[in-house]
Structure 1
Amino acid sequence: MISFIFSCDKKENYKDVEKSEGVFLSGKIIPDSHFLGDQKCKECHQDQFKSWEGSDHDKAMEIADSISILGDFNNQKYTSQGVTSHFYKKGKDFYVNTEGPDGENHDYKIVYTFGVTPLQQYIVQFPDGHYQCLRTAWDSVKNKWFDLYPDFKVVHSEWLHWSRGGLNWNNMCADCHSTNVRKNYDEATHSYDTKFAIIDVNCEACHGPGQEHVTNVNELGKDYVASGSFQMTTDTSPQELVDQCARCHMRREQFSEAFNFEGTMLDHYFPQLIEGGLYEADGQILDEDYVYGSFLQSKMYQNGVTCTNCHDAHTLKLKYDGNKLCAQCHVPEKYDTTEHHFHQPNTESSKCINCHMTGKFYMGNDFRRDHSFRVPRPDLSVKYGNPNACTGCHEDKDNAWAAENFKKLFGEVDSIHFSEKLAPGITMQPDGHVGLIELMHDKQQPDIIRASASKVLSNYNAQNFVEEYITLLNDESALVRGATVDALSSINTTDYTSYFLPLLEDTKRTVRIKAFYGLGGVTEAEIPEVYKESYGKVKQEFFLHLKTNSDFVGTRMKKGDYYLKQGDVAKAIISFESALAIDNINNQIRINLATLYYNTQQYEKAEEAFKIVIEQEPEYGPVYYSLALMYAELNRVDEAIVQLEKAVKKMPENIRVYYNLGLLYDKQQDYKNSEKTFIAGLKVDATNESLLYALAYLYSKSNQTEKAKNIVYRLIELYPNNQEYKSFLNQLERRV
């Protein structure tokens, strides 16, 4: 893509952007005045404007008034999860009375509408520039109020409460629902000054700011040719068009301060890869994954099909109804037949999309189809439990029935699909790593599959596959390079970081920033002279990335992790404390903090943090164990024993708990409970070396020599090369 070159605007003191030096982009923010608005576009593009007007893009966000609001605010009440929301009018304004961040009900004025169909959300203004989306939304198809998450109880103090981070417009929604959005978050005050040029997704959100375009048209007239700043034209390649649409139609992490049409999608965002909990094991949609991550898996994408082959670019509607849409490419005489689909013609069951584009409901009533366009594989459902189109319709049948009948109709599967290698890895099968490694290196596979395989492989301990990873750092796919850097960065060592140095000059900003984070264990003074300039530039990109996303808990934790890599524990603690400040019930942060407090001998703070975790999550066993270890080190043995006894009940399979509890009983000369604890642990793992040795030692010092010898015989049998056990046995035999 050609980088956007802005015209000079002295009035705004905004200078021309110089061409990027090497791979580094300018990062300049586009002034709002460069966006001229849809009415200006309408002057020349009346047909396109007419198509766009009233579309989901046009209605993405509007000022709340009697025209834009679809919901019933005529003194209506709706109750869900014990919370009653009262929707009413006051003069020309619209209000809701509902539970606020303090757990009490308050009156809130509706300032914006969000979306139009199949649901419409409503936005409330909070202090310090925060705008929040109500959890109760309007079903614009069935004309009723409904809860976006009816089965999910959220306490008012949780990050997911509508008044907090989970439904915050500024960071969760704005970037895709308006044009030229700048979030403008201030971490110090936890406040926003979010700005946009156009309230909705207008023409220029896709085609770029119109100022230069209009100027060139006026100056060149009939000689004008769309170029430079003009985006998404008929000359845009299919895959590039997918990337341009993707910035709003994918689950992703942002890496630039604001989208300004420079570079490519991977200079601004990195997509969510396919992994457990977010996607099904075979790559089908599971969580709210949007479209991009699915479409990149498809053969359609690999063969040059793009968004506008199916969707009208301006109305956003499908170009054709029914199987006629697919028949643009797939010969109907071959595919739209009972010999192919085995269902009654002209029924829902005979529609291509119902076999090859299954879907899920999100946000309560929003049905979205999986864009990976896959052949149903009920045989994989039998193995891994992922859904398939067959049992999605035949709800009275099981996966085994579907697999058997699929085989009868279509025969054996005659090709290997990536899902057959991806699913075992995502589900952590013992040999699942084998297929993942094959996928990583198979350049015939979609890039997102190769990148995802790289990411998922790290679940098998990235340390075991360093050589495999290093070979991918120079891969032609930026997605693969980025995922591989992430995997290697998860290893707590600097042994491999020298391989990241060339990536400081990668062509994609996202990869450069990931490489910088991977180099976190290396001080600036240790960077070779040849890379110092690039290191300095990417350092600026990295910290701007952190600053831009510092309203997310994960980013503040990432900052803390970076400082830990740098050895600056004090700054790491500050970063984790700031993360806890915006999500006070996030106990992963609290446990990290407690560990850091403990390591820096801030024992009172560590104890307080551990106890809060226990109070909030009393069934979480590891926290009892951690607190006990701290007590033991502080020689508060009785308290340590109490916590370990609780830990045993919460984690009866954890051998280390038995081991440490037994040792503490021994220290207190409570040999009976010590013996009892070691034996209980051996019932879980009869060959555990530590427990066997501890029990033998206990018998030895309590003069139960024969019992001790029997245990040592077992140790020698299990570990014949350990000379210490043979020496131990000799000592015991000399006692006789």
Structure 2
Amino acid sequence: MVLFLLFASFFSCDKKPEYKEIETSKSVFLSGELIPDSHFLGDKKCKECHQNEFKKWEGSHHDKAMQIADSVTVLADFNNHTFTSQGVTSNFFKKGEDFYVNTDGPDGKNHDYKIVYTFGITPLQQYIVQFPDGHYQCLRTAWDSVKNKWFDLYPDFKVVHSEWLHWSRGGLNWNNMCSDCHSTNVRKNYEQETHSYNTKFALINVSCEACHGPGKEHVTAEENLGEKYVANGSFQMTSDTAPKELVDECARCHMRREQFSEAFNFEGTMLDHYYPQLLEERLYQADGQILDEDYVYGSFVQSKMYQNNVTCTNCHDAHSLKLKFDGNKLCAQCHVAENYDTPKHHFHPQNTESSKCINCHMPGRYYMGNDFRRDHSFRVPRPDLSVKYGTPNACTGCHKDKDDVWAAKNFTKLFGEVDSVHFSDKLAPGITMQPGAHEGLIDLMHDKQQPEIVRASATKALSNYNIPSSIQEYLNLLKDESALVRGASVDVLSTINTKDYTSYFLPLLNDPKRTIRIKAFFGLAVMDESEIPEFYKESYQKVKKEFFTNLKTNADFVGSRIKKGDYYNKKGNIVEAIKNYENALAIDNINNQIRINLATLYYNNKQYEKAEKAFKTVIEQEPEYGPVYYSLALMYGELNRVDDAIAQLKTAIKVMPDNIRFYYNLGLLYDKNQDLKNAEKTIVAGLKIDPNNESLLYALAYIYSKSSQKEKAKNIVLRLIQLYPNNQQYRSFLNSL
């Protein structure tokens, strides 16, 4: 039947290494208690003692992260200004002191919407509208506060009102996409049954206490003790915070990540609340450079600066967020100017844009239309990798009239051959699936000198190769000292629907990091609770609570509903799995990856009409998506609807003419219909694309043998024997002819 796309096809491993349990000095389970809003006293209270810090913070991006919309906070032109993009016309106007927009809503028709909040200040300001059931939505049209004009955040991307990405739906929903990082002490409070929110926060913006923690205990102790007061360590992000710990604390908001706790309550560490997005296609370049928005953390932790304990506040003022120095003086804090801020190093005219360190070592990209953000991986330009893998480089980023070959040649001329191996030399070919590149990924996985995020990303990337022997590599990494690596290994092994690895997952129920415990629990879904060993039962129940809290917290995301469906599918509860996949489609009705997987579940549950309808809906919405015709054809074939299956495969070949598997299956279907002429014609057409394809050659020999073309069959089998001399089946076939 159709391959269920969420599960990889691995083989079990015979040898099981001894698992060394992760040692912890105390209970790893956190209270999970939420902090009352009354414990956050507000920036005015902080100002009483910390006037200098307050003065720097006031007016900063953190201060202005979110504000009530009024005549002071709104920067945009609402004087009956009309803006049109992607066929949608929006009119911005005022009613008395209130600000409004007339634009397309979730029904595709224009309505008046009142602006209730502003978001940010520069280089853009967004505007938030209140919807029913506690939903708050961010407009797709924003204000360019530098050029003073309205603009479309995604000018080249048309979104219709029924899509999840429409501004009135999930893609620009403030409650789940924005609130956790733009306000203080946020509790999302989502209820799936009613698809409603009751989101709360203590303070509207990123206040002092958003970073340092609630001030009540500190202020009460200081007021009671006066001069006898001694800091008790209740605050985060202090001058005593270690560099990497500080990066993790900033990363809570400055990284692309998945949330695992109900709400951030300052307990534990970053990985008790969030797990970062790894370096994967569509989000990062193959070599780890930024592609989609990563919010800095994912790039910075790749850098040698991070590895050498450079932290955020070495470059940025902790309160104003501004850079501490202008130009190359910032880098010269550590890198001696005489060695680097000179044409002898950068080979460009001094005191020009070309001579700035950041333009070679921190190239950037525009996000949200006009927001230029720099890559914080601080890497040496590698045009040689650009030539091999199509990754960008700073050289041709500036010299737009030149190509990567020119850049690589001139780089070598100026700096010589690259004399050290950077992780990208192994990651880029691995991500782009170059032949034999899996060995480089394995090297990265085990090289503890490499950044953790690189090791974890290599671990995840290796799974794309579906190499049975790599199972052993993953099992070994389940006890790695890096939580990121453990998490990536669990994720890969959890996609395999088998009980073979549960004995390795069980110790991770006591992992020091909540994110890893939850991932391990998902991997254990193939076990019944009655099968859990007595030693782990208490931990199992605690992590079960963490797991379902995670699912409930993120139930407004499609991915969480899919994961819940996956969980029940691993449990063998196909009815509940279907229910959760249907719930996922309820909030993203055009997500056809969900629909294809759901169609497979329908088929497995013998709901053939629903399966067929789901496949046909995908075809209707994405007629150029070849694999769906193939999946539907396989289902028809198993239902003995051979003519229907043939029709679907013929269409699949038209859409994806280079997919060899389509020719193979179509040939077999023609054979099943005793149409040997079309069977031969189809297989021959496939062999024109891949002349040495083993499956096609064997199928053609079989068809020739059935149609009394013995000599042709013998010639094909002799070719198979030449290509695959160790296959005794082909010699037996030849003897039978």
**TM-score bracket for this pair, using the shorter chain length:** over 0.9
Instruction: Give the alignment partner of residue 468 of structure 2, picking from 426, 449, 463.
Output: 463
Instruction: Give the alignment partner of residue 104 of structure 2, picking from 76, 99, 118.
Output: 99
The question of whether the paired residues in 2 share the 8 Å contact of 1:462 and 1:491 is answered with no
Residue 464 of structure 1: how far off its partner (Å): 3.2
1:127-181 Cα shifts (integer Å, max 9, x gaps): 1111111110000000000011111111221111111111111111000000000
Letter in structure 1 aligned against 2:627? P
Cα RMSD (Å): 1.8
Residue matched to 1:598 = 603
Cα distance in structure 1, aligned partners of 2:708 and 2:413: 71
Residue matched to 1:80 = 85
1:95-115 Cα shifts (integer Å, max 9, x gaps): 111111121111111111001
SS in 2 for 1:317: coil
The question of whether the paired residues in 2 share the 8 Å contact of 1:421 and 1:435 is answered with yes
The question of whether the paired residues in 2 share the 8 Å contact of 1:376 and 1:389 is answered with yes
Answering whether residue 288 of structure 2 is matched by residue 286 of structure 1, we say: no
Instruction: Give the alignment partner of residue 299 of structure 1, picking from 296, 299, 304.
Output: 304
- Per the alignment, do residues 245 and 93 of structure 1 end up closer, same or farther by CA in structure 2, a change over 3 Å counting? same
Cα distance in structure 2, aligned partners of 1:232 and 1:380: 38
Instruction: Give the alignment partner of residue 193 of structure 2, picking from 188, 197, 200.
Output: 188
Higher relative contact order (Cα pairs below 8 Å, separated by 6+ residues): 2
Cα distance in structure 1, aligned partners of 2:60 and 2:123: 12
**What TM-score results when the alignment is normalised by the length of structure 1?**
0.94
Instruction: Give the alignment partner of residue 520 of structure 1, picking from 503, 525, 530.
Output: 525
Residue matched to 1:382 = 387
Instruction: Give the alignment partner of residue 594 of structure 2, picking from 589, 597, 620.
Output: 589
Letter in structure 2 aligned against 1:93? D
Cα distance in structure 2, aligned partners of 1:525 and 1:47: 60
Instruction: Give the alignment partner of residue 529 of structure 1, picking from 534, 538, 559.
Output: 534
Residue matched to 1:576 = 581
The question of whether the paired residues in 2 share the 8 Å contact of 1:462 and 1:490 is answered with no
Residue 709 of structure 1: how far off its partner (Å): 4.2
With 219-228 and 448-457 compared, the bigger mean Cα shift is at 219-228
Residue matched to 1:359 = 364
Residue matched to 2:446 = 441
**What TM-score results when the alignment is normalised by the length of structure 2?**
0.94
Instruction: Give the alignment partner of residue 281 of structure 2, picking from 272, 276, 296.
Output: 276
Residue matched to 1:311 = 316
Paired-residue identity, %: 80
Count of residue pairs brought into register by the alignment: 713
Residue matched to 1:486 = 491
- Per the alignment, do residues 413 and 628 of structure 1 end up closer, same or farther by CA in structure 2, a change over 3 Å counting? closer
With 702-711 and 609-618 compared, the bigger mean Cα shift is at 702-711
Unaligned ranges ≥5, structure 2: 1-24
Letter in structure 1 aligned against 2:258? E
With 149-158 and 606-615 compared, the bigger mean Cα shift is at 149-158
Residue matched to 2:241 = 236
**Where do residues 346-425 of structure 1 align in structure 2 (5 Å cutoff)?**
346-425=351-430
Residue 677 of structure 1: how far off its partner (Å): 1.9
- Per the alignment, do residues 726 and 334 of structure 1 end up closer, same or farther by CA in structure 2, a change over 3 Å counting? closer
- Per the alignment, do residues 452 and 632 of structure 1 end up closer, same or farther by CA in structure 2, a change over 3 Å counting? closer
Instruction: Give the alignment partner of residue 651 of structure 2, picking from 639, 643, 646.
Output: 646
Cα distance in structure 2, aligned partners of 1:320 and 1:234: 20
Cα distance in structure 1, aligned partners of 2:464 and 2:679: 36
Letter in structure 2 aligned against 1:431? G
Residue 402 of structure 1: how far off its partner (Å): 1.8
Instruction: Give the alignment partner of residue 38 of structure 1, picking from 3, 20, 43.
Output: 43
The question of whether the paired residues in 2 share the 8 Å contact of 1:424 and 1:432 is answered with yes
Residue 327 of structure 1: how far off its partner (Å): 1.7
Letter in structure 2 aligned against 1:491? I
Residue 378 of structure 1: how far off its partner (Å): 1.8
**Where do residues 320-331 of structure 1 align in structure 2 (5 Å cutoff)?**
320-331=325-336
Letter in structure 2 aligned against 1:621? G
Residue 258 of structure 1: how far off its partner (Å): 0.2
Residue 724 of structure 1: how far off its partner (Å): 5.3
Cα distance in structure 2, aligned partners of 1:686 and 1:420: 33
1:684-704 Cα shifts (integer Å, max 9, x gaps): 333444444444444444444
- Per the alignment, do residues 487 and 701 of structure 1 end up closer, same or farther by CA in structure 2, a change over 3 Å counting? closer
Cα distance in structure 2, aligned partners of 1:397 and 1:663: 51
Letter in structure 2 aligned against 1:28? E
1:165-206 Cα shifts (integer Å, max 9, x gaps): 111111110000000000111111111111101000001001
Residue matched to 2:10 = none
Residue matched to 2:143 = 138
Instruction: Give the alignment partner of residue 124 of structure 1, picking from 125, 129, 132.
Output: 129
Residue matched to 1:55 = 60
SS in 2 for 1:137: strand
Cα distance in structure 2, aligned partners of 1:490 and 1:567: 14
With 176-185 and 652-661 compared, the bigger mean Cα shift is at 652-661
Unaligned ranges ≥5, structure 1: 1-19
Residue 710 of structure 1: how far off its partner (Å): 4.0
Residue 722 of structure 1: how far off its partner (Å): 5.3
With 702-711 and 83-92 compared, the bigger mean Cα shift is at 702-711
The question of whether the paired residues in 2 share the 8 Å contact of 1:462 and 1:487 is answered with no
**Where do residues 552-571 of structure 1 align in structure 2 (5 Å cutoff)?**
552-571=557-576
Residue 554 of structure 1: how far off its partner (Å): 0.9
Cα distance in structure 2, aligned partners of 1:698 and 1:450: 48
The question of whether the paired residues in 2 share the 8 Å contact of 1:297 and 1:448 is answered with yes
Cα distance in structure 2, aligned partners of 1:462 and 1:679: 30
- Per the alignment, do residues 25 and 391 of structure 1 end up closer, same or farther by CA in structure 2, a change over 3 Å counting? same
Cα distance in structure 2, aligned partners of 1:693 and 1:180: 64
- Per the alignment, do residues 491 and 635 of structure 1 end up closer, same or farther by CA in structure 2, a change over 3 Å counting? closer
Residue matched to 1:10 = none
Residue 565 of structure 1: how far off its partner (Å): 1.2
Cα distance in structure 2, aligned partners of 1:497 and 1:491: 11
- Per the alignment, do residues 266 and 674 of structure 1 end up closer, same or farther by CA in structure 2, a change over 3 Å counting? same
Instruction: Give the alignment partner of residue 548 of structure 1, picking from 553, 559, 569.
Output: 553
Residue matched to 2:18 = none
**Where do residues 550-699 of structure 1 align in structure 2 (5 Å cutoff)?**
550-699=555-704
Cα distance in structure 2, aligned partners of 1:225 and 1:364: 48
Letter in structure 1 aligned against 2:43? D
- Per the alignment, do residues 462 and 529 of structure 1 end up closer, same or farther by CA in structure 2, a change over 3 Å counting? farther
With 391-400 and 461-470 compared, the bigger mean Cα shift is at 461-470
- Per the alignment, do residues 319 and 596 of structure 1 end up closer, same or farther by CA in structure 2, a change over 3 Å counting? same
